[in-house]
Every structure is written in structure tokens, then in C-alpha cells.
Amino acid sequence: MENETRPAWMADPLVKDIPEQKLQFVEQLFAKGHGKSQKEMMAYLMPMMKKAKEENLTFTPQEMNAAIAAIRKHSSKEELTQIDKILEKSRAGDRPAKP
């Protein structure tokens, strides 16, 4: 079976229109972010976001929402908790610093 090495969410119809390179980036982001503290997560997210920018890898809001929905659909309760933490930390990184 060719999908054995791919997580189930990557074969979900929600993400069928998202290019493979983007799906792999999201998978790496979530897989390597799993179990990290807030400090570790921020140290991990910054280079990942820089790498995405260097590779001209941008996501539309629709692509990101579809990928997150597919990941959540195929996740355990513990994984959902971790996903929420990752998303919260990544959103915090997008906010401008307060003066």
C-alpha cells in the first residue's frame, strides 16, 4: 500500500487540493512540535517559518484551515490537546510585540 508511510490525514479529502510539498511541511511542523515546552516550541517555530519563507512556501487561510481540520479529524484526544498548544503558540508568534 503506497499510503503506509503517510499519516491518514494526508489522504483525507479535505486536503486533496493542497500540494504535496505543503502537506509535508505541515506534517513536519506538527510531528516535530509534539511534546515541546513553550520555549522549545518558539525556538522550533521560528526557523521553520523562515525555511517556509525561503522556499516560497505560503499557505492560503483555506489551505491551512483544511490541513488543520484534517489533522484534527485523525487525531486522538491527547494529540488534539497538543495541536491546540502548537496552534496557540504559532498564533502568539504572529502577533506584533507590544511596545
Q: What is the pLDDT along the chain (99 residues), one digit of tens a residue?
A: 444 578 899 999 999 999 999 999 888 887 777 777 777 877 888 888 888 889 899 989 899 889 989 988 988 888 888 778 777 766 665 555 444
Alpha-carbon distance of 42 to 39, in angstroms, equals: 5
Alpha-carbon distance of 27 to 97, in angstroms, equals: 28
- State pTM to two decimals: 0.71
> DSSP assignment of 27-96, as one string?
HHHHHHHTT--HHHHHHHHHHHHHHHHHTT----HHHHHHHHHHHHHT--HHHHHHHHHHHHHHHHHHSP
Report the amino acid identity of residue 30. F
